[in-house]
Amino acid sequence: MKAKYPARSENELEAFEFELPESFIAERPASPRGSSRLMVLDRAALSAEHSLFESFPFFLEEGDCLVVNETRVRPCRIYGTKAETGGEVELLFVRKIEELQWEALAKPARRLREGTIILLSGGASAKITERTSGVSFVLEVPEAFEEYLEKWGEMPIPPYIGRRADHDDKEDYQTVYARVIGSSAAPTAGLHFTKEIFRKLEARGVGIARLTLHVGPGTFRPLAPGKLSSQKLDPEYYEVTADACRIINRVRGRGGRVFAVGTSTARVLETVASLANGRAPLVPSKGWTEKFIYPPYEFKTVDALVTNFHLPGSSVLLLVCAFAGREFILKAYEEAKKEQYRFYSYGDGMLIL
């Protein structure tokens, strides 16, 4: 296949680049939810078949387990103006540090200084108290700020979509099982699921385990060119309950398969599996994970992966390549382009068995 850069080795990011015209990027999700296409890859046979996501339950059997990330996306993008100059500022509030202190990414950021007052929607204001990186700041915010974001914030749809979020994104950019608020990006593999799909899965005797990983904006941040071993991911908070461990351990003990919905779910499962010493039973855990999965990597818990079609050279693409092999995945991406699949967050789905 034609690479964007000459690939020197699988240890370097350039080996995971590919060309994708903007016309393949989905601006909106398939409607109704669940009607997206599904490419099904068989790692053993190195084969691909084309299906619809509504057929997903028929690829699971009694005794298998589906693991989902029930994080809920916060409407955390706010547009404001600098009180002193009137210049426009876009803020993405990613994390509460203390009750009246939040971390946010700002754009444009170059001229922002400590003490800058930013006038926000709805008559609120925030003050920059610290710059923590080139585009990251700590802001002093009003009281009841989480309630403020719920009322005035926009959904943080990815920058490559190329439009501002609107009312439809409030529902579209949220899984039907989202429960624990805290993400500034959606676990997009889960956007294909409907309540009807879950009813079919349960009717087939498939277990459902739920965990949480709050997805941060780092999921869209480009990796640096060069060796993969020198890269780091932003830490993201996760929780795996005793109930989830019980369901997963029972399935593994009986020889069933663990299906991870999304790379965020896979990262959590592999994080906890590492704490449990490989194939040992999983134990409840919570904390921050920086786990960066790229080839070669031996998965300890995940037997099948539900995912989307990802950005070239992204950390999530590298995880998928680690699961199924770089050449196989990049060949499948070329097939997806040939068959006019829709890419990225609102695009079509992939199931890797």
177 pLDDT above the threshold of 50:
yes
Judge whether 226 lies within some domain.
Answer: yes
Judge whether 195 lies within some domain.
Answer: yes
pLDDT of residue 5: 37
pLDDT of residue 6: 43
Q: 260: helix, coil or strand? A: strand
Predicted confidence band of residue 229 (pLDDT cuts 50, 70, 90): confident
Average pLDDT score over residue span 100-106: 95
Q: At what angle do helices 326-338 and 315-324 cross, to 10 degrees?
A: 110
pLDDT tens digits for range 184-203: 999 999 999 999 999 999 99
Between the CA of residue 168 and those of 29, 161, 172, 214, what are the distances in Å?
10, 14, 6, 22
Work out the number of other CB atoms within 10 angstroms of the CB of residue 300: 16
More confident residue, 66 or 276: 66
pLDDT of residue 278: 63
pLDDT of residue 9: 67
Which residues on adjacent β-strands are paired with residue 82?
118
Average pLDDT score over residue span 227-237: 89
Question: Is the Cβ–Cβ distance between 66 and 201 less than 8 Å?
Answer: yes
- Tell me the CATH number at 82: 2.40.10.240
Say whether both 60 and 181 belong to one domain.
yes
Q: At what angle do helices 263-275 and 315-324 cross, to 10 degrees?
A: 70
pLDDT tens digits for range 289-302: 999 999 999 999 99
Average pLDDT score over residue span 270-286: 87
Say whether both 249 and 301 belong to one domain.
yes
Q: Is the peptide bond before 159 cis (omega within 30 degrees of 0)?
A: no
pLDDT of residue 280: 76
Judge whether 29 lies within some domain.
Answer: yes
17 pLDDT above the threshold of 50:
yes
3 pLDDT above the threshold of 50:
no
Report CA dihedral (55, 300, 230, 224) to the nearest 10 degrees: 0
Between the CA of residue 268 and those of 11, 66, 77, 287, 291, what are the distances in Å?
23, 14, 26, 10, 8
Average pLDDT score over residue span 94-100: 93
DSSP string covering 183-248 = ESS--GGGGG--HHHHHHHHHTT-EEEEEEE---GGGGSPPPSSBGGG--PPPEEEEE-HHHHHHH
d(CA 185, CA 59): 28
Judge whether 250 lies within some domain.
Answer: yes
At 36, list the tokens.
């997206």
Predicted confidence band of residue 117 (pLDDT cuts 50, 70, 90): very high
Domain hosting 332: range is 13-73+170-352
139 pLDDT above the threshold of 50:
yes
Say whether both 206 and 336 belong to one domain.
yes
Question: Is the Cβ–Cβ distance between 124 and 150 less than 8 Å?
Answer: no
Between the CA of residue 2 and those of 5, 217, 223, 227, 342, what are the distances in Å?
9, 29, 20, 20, 20
As for how many domains the chain has, the answer is 2
Q: Whole-number mean pLDDT of the chain?
A: 93
Average pLDDT score over residue span 16-22: 93
Say whether both 122 and 186 belong to one domain.
no
Say whether both 144 and 230 belong to one domain.
no
279 pLDDT above the threshold of 90:
no
User: How big is the chain by its Cα radius of gyration, in Å?
Assistant: 21
Say whether both 293 and 331 belong to one domain.
yes
Q: Are strands 117-119 and 77-82 parallel, antiparallel or unpaired?
A: antiparallel
Say whether both 37 and 86 belong to one domain.
no
2 pLDDT above the threshold of 70:
no
